[in-house]
Amino acid sequence: MAQTKRIGILTAGGDSPGLNAAIRGVGKTALGFYGMEIVGFRDGFRGIVEDRRLKLDRSTLAGILTVGGTILGTSRDKPHRMTIDGRVHDMTNVIVKNYKRYGLDVLVCLGGGGTQKSALRLAGAGLNVITLPKTIDNDVAMTDASFGFATALDIATDAIDRLHSTAHSHHRIIVTEIMGHRAGWLTLGAGIAGGADVILIPEIPYDVHKIAEAIRRRSRAGTNFSIVAVAEGAMSKEDARPYGIAEARKEKARNQKEKHGAKLELAALEARHSGNTLRLAKQLEELTRLESRVTILGYVQRGGIPSPSDRLLATRLGSACSDLIHENVFGVMVASRGDRAEPVPLEKVAGKRKLVPPDHPWVEAARRVGTCLGD
Ligand code: F6P
């Protein structure tokens, strides 16, 4: 008789709505449909290192479909760079040891880009690993969508809707910052859906004078307010130039020393970039002579009840994950392709990022309806 399969599961990286729906999708299919066992590890990869577990059974999986966050907790800890007692250690071997000690057949990792890289590393260390794509940024490669994005899109769009009326009443520019350091999907999507007048994303560096001119044009036409939707990582053309050079240096690094140097440079540039939204609002106020205000949406975008489409996506990817475990398909991410869920080798996902192509239909549509993209 075949032995009962044992699944370990964890959530890593920033939390997002739909994580619990995915845990439930994996767990209910594994327990109820295939008769497998499943155990959760708390707070990302740290839980498997520190032996902090949560047994997942029918009662723990009940009632979590609509709950935000993750019942397992999460962290940004990486297996190969984990701070223990104030010092950074490579804990990969401890994870391998504990995986064997718990008699696991597979480790399911729910996460974004960083988690896909960590999972590939663990696969390289000999573990059976499967991942699911989660992030409000929607930038995981090789999948149509990641859960968390649809809910965040609703939240950010609702915020822009609300900002419209107050911007209109006060004849102000309201600059609203939306999450996304590298990818502009959320800002672009919410900006289009909310009818923002200006949308600024990391993939399209902006010229502040062009934005000011677009706002002044609106004023001349009799509309004395504007909504500017700006991604956290959107940059002016001047700021984007050194950033691009440092990124290329990191990509082309021939050894660890060069890579480390490029990373330090990028970190310094990122530090300098913080507060950019406030500076942008001030620049626009000076250039247009319209009063400006800033609203930073921040973590509100990651919180609360997942939307129906995120629940649906997370449930079907989670359930498909258990199907793949049953078929002994490992070393893959469960990607969404149209209505289907498909396994994609982790090598094709890890270290890649799905950015907004400059000629994407969303970009084209935004331009056609007269939205300024700052370029
Ligand atoms: O990757 C998701 C995300 O919410 C980004 O949009 C944001 O830049 C980042 O996480 C914030 O990370 P943290 O939770 O570590 O502050």
Closest C-alpha among 73, 43, 41, 69 to residue 55: 41
For the CA of 180, the closest atom of ligand 1 is 6
Facing residues of 9 across strands?
40, 108
- How much distance in Å is there from the Cα of 335 to the middle of ligand 1? 21
Residues of the chain with pLDDT under 70: 1
Q: Is 1 exposed, middle or buried (0-12, 13-18, 19+ CB in 10 A)?
A: exposed
- How much distance in Å is there from the Cα of 14 to the middle of ligand 1? 6
- How much distance in Å is there from the Cα of 188 to the middle of ligand 1? 17
Helices within the chain (DSSP H only): 19-28, 45-49, 58-61, 92-101, 113-124, 149-170, 185-194, 208-220, 237-252, 256-273, 276-288, 308-326, 361-368
Distances (CA, A) of 188 to 89, 138, 194, 366, 367: 39, 12, 10, 8, 11
User: What are 313-330's pLDDT values in tens digits?
Assistant: 999 999 999 999 999 999
Quickly tell me which residue has 């439930």 as its tokens. 24
Please report the pLDDT score of residue 1 as a whole number: 61
Active-site option among 43, 137, 139, 197: 137
Among protein residues, the one with the nearest Cα to ligand 1's atom 16 is: 14
When the pLDDT of each residue in the chain is averaged and rounded to a whole number, the result is 97
Backbone angles phi, psi at 111, to 5 degrees: -175, -175
Please report the pLDDT score of residue 245 as a whole number: 93
CB contact set of 293 (below 8 Å; sequence gap of 6+): 167, 172, 173, 174, 175, 281
Buried b (16+ CB within 10 A) or exposed e, 196-208: bbbbbbbbbbbeb
- Residues recorded for the chain: 375
The model carries a pTM of: 0.96
Please report the pLDDT score of residue 3 as a whole number: 84
Buried b (16+ CB within 10 A) or exposed e, 27-38: bbbbbeeeebbb
For the CA of 186, the closest atom of ligand 1 is 6
137 catalytic residue (yes or no): yes
Q: Are 74 and 114 in contact (CB under 8 A)?
A: no
Please report the pLDDT score of residue 120 as a whole number: 98
For the CA of 301, the closest atom of ligand 1 is 4
Please report the pLDDT score of residue 170 as a whole number: 97
